């Protein structure tokens, strides 16, 4: 399981970050004639710890839904029982879905990818099925057949297989290619809270607030979380963001199951 240092934004957050956040969110959504849909996706889930408990607590406190991407080989029955005891079983809050299989890179060159085109089709199918079966067996009806590929990328073969195997959702980064086949919903994240790479915290602040404002104005905002990278400042910001969004009448917070129901006639 990966552990990384927080980004520069959370090591030295600018003092005006939360003040500017409130204004930028309000400016983005208040003129709209329809609610902006906002979903949060937490990656690399499977093991309970302090940061995971803090993540669950803040979403529970504000009653904001969260789609959680679970790595199949990292999850055990005992870990799931611990997670359930902390999170509870409220289907209105949590959408547990599949995050790859081992979270392992299989590419010898180029960007990291677990389900890229260099792998044989049967190897991809095998890992997809093993991961799905493991999560369904451990989680039971709490498991939802959506798929977040590690590093937010996968190949055409994977997308076709996901559709054939009855998955409802693929979730990657905004602008990810190739496009999924018809019938496989594409719910992309377009705001990155914790894997930011800006060297200066001021640049991180400006870019983050711009992402939030632009995506809220568009009517569809997907926010990616990596709780292992959260420190106190990142958690404090997340708490403020959830409080602001949950009080805005022109914002509707959802998880993947809500979005599927919205798309289904």
Up-side HSE of residue 98: CA atoms within 13 Å toward CB?
A: 27
Alpha-carbon distances of 7 from 10, 132, 145, 233, 260, rounded to whole Å: 6, 32, 31, 11, 33
Position 262 pLDDT exceeds 70: yes
Give the whole-angstrom CA distance, residue 183 versus residue 139: 25
Q: What are the pLDDT digits (tens) for 2-20?
A: 567 899 999 999 988 988 9
Read out DSSP for 209-238?
A: HHHHHHHHHHTEEEEEE-GGG--HHHHHHH
Here the tokens at position 171 are 């979730």
Local structure of residue 180 (DSSP, 8 states):
P
Q: What is the pLDDT of residue 3?
A: 64
Q: What are the pLDDT digits (tens) for 152-169?
A: 999 999 999 999 999 999
Q: What is the pLDDT of residue 265?
A: 42
Which helix (H) or strand (E) segment holds residue 254: the answer is strand 251-254
Average pLDDT over residues 183-206: 96
Confidence class of residue 1 from pLDDT cuts 50, 70 and 90?
low
pTM (2 d.p.): 0.95
Closest by CA position to 30, among listed 238, 190, 211, 216: 216
Q: Would you say domain 12-18+43-103+138-212+231-265 falls under CATH 3.20.20.370?
A: yes
Structural domain boundaries in the chain: 12-18+43-103+138-212+231-265
Position 264 pLDDT exceeds 70: no
Exposure b/e, 31-46, CB count within 10 A at least 16 = b: eeeeebbbbbbbbbbb
Please state, rounded to an integer, the average pLDDT across all residues of the chain: 95
Contacting residues for 74 by C-beta, under 8 A, at least 6 apart: 1, 46, 47, 103
3-state helix, strand, coil in the chain (%, to 5): 45, 15, 35
Which helix (H) or strand (E) segment holds residue 81: the answer is helix 77-87
Position 144 pLDDT exceeds 70: yes
**β pairing state of 169-170 and 220-225:** unpaired
Q: What is the pLDDT of residue 197?
A: 94
Q: What are the pLDDT digits (tens) for 58-102?
A: 999 999 999 999 999 999 999 999 999 999 999 999 999 999 999
Average pLDDT over residues 215-234: 96
Q: What is the pLDDT of residue 184?
A: 97
Here the tokens at position 2 are 């990966």
Position 25 pLDDT exceeds 90: yes
Average pLDDT over residues 164-182: 97
Task: Give yes or no for a contact between 189 and 171, defined as CB atoms under 8 angstroms apart.
Answer: yes
Read out DSSP for 130-178?
A: HHHHHHHHHHGGGEEEEE--GGG---HHHHHHHHHTT--EE--BTT-SS
């Amino acid at each position: 399981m990966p552990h990384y240092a927080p980004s520069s934004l959370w090591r030295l957050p600018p003092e005006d970050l939360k003040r500017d956040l409130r204004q930028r969110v309000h400016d983005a959504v208040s003129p709209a004639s329809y609610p902006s849909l906002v979903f949060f996706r937490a990656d690399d889930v499977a093991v309970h710890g302090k940061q995971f408990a803090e993540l669950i607590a803040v979403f529970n406190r504000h009653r904001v839904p969260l789609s959680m991407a679970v790595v199949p080989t990292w999850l055990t029955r005992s870990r799931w029982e611990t997670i359930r005891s902390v999170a509870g079983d409220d289907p209105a809050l949590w959408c547990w879905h599949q995050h790859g299989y081992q979270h392992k890179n299989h590419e010898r060159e180029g960007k990291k990818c677990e389900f890229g085109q260099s792998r044989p089709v049967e190897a991809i199918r095998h890992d997809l099925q093993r991961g799905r079966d493991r999560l369904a067996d451990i989680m039971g009806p709490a498991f939802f057949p959506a798929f977040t590929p590690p590093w937010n990328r996968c190949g055409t073969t994977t997308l076709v297989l996901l559709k054939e195997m009855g998955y409802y959702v693929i979730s990657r980064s905004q602008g990810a290619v190739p496009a999924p086949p018809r019938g496989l919903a594409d719910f992309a994240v377009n705001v990155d809270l914790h894997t930011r790479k800006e060297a200066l915290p001021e640049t991180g602040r400006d870019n983050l607030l711009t992402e939030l404002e632009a995506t809220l104005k568009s009517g569809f905002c997907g926010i990616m979380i990596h709780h292992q990278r959260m420190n106190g400042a990142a958690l404090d910001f997340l708490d403020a963001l959830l409080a602001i969004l949950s009080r805005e009448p022109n914002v509707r917070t959802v998880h993947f199951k809500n979005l599927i129901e919205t798309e289904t006639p």
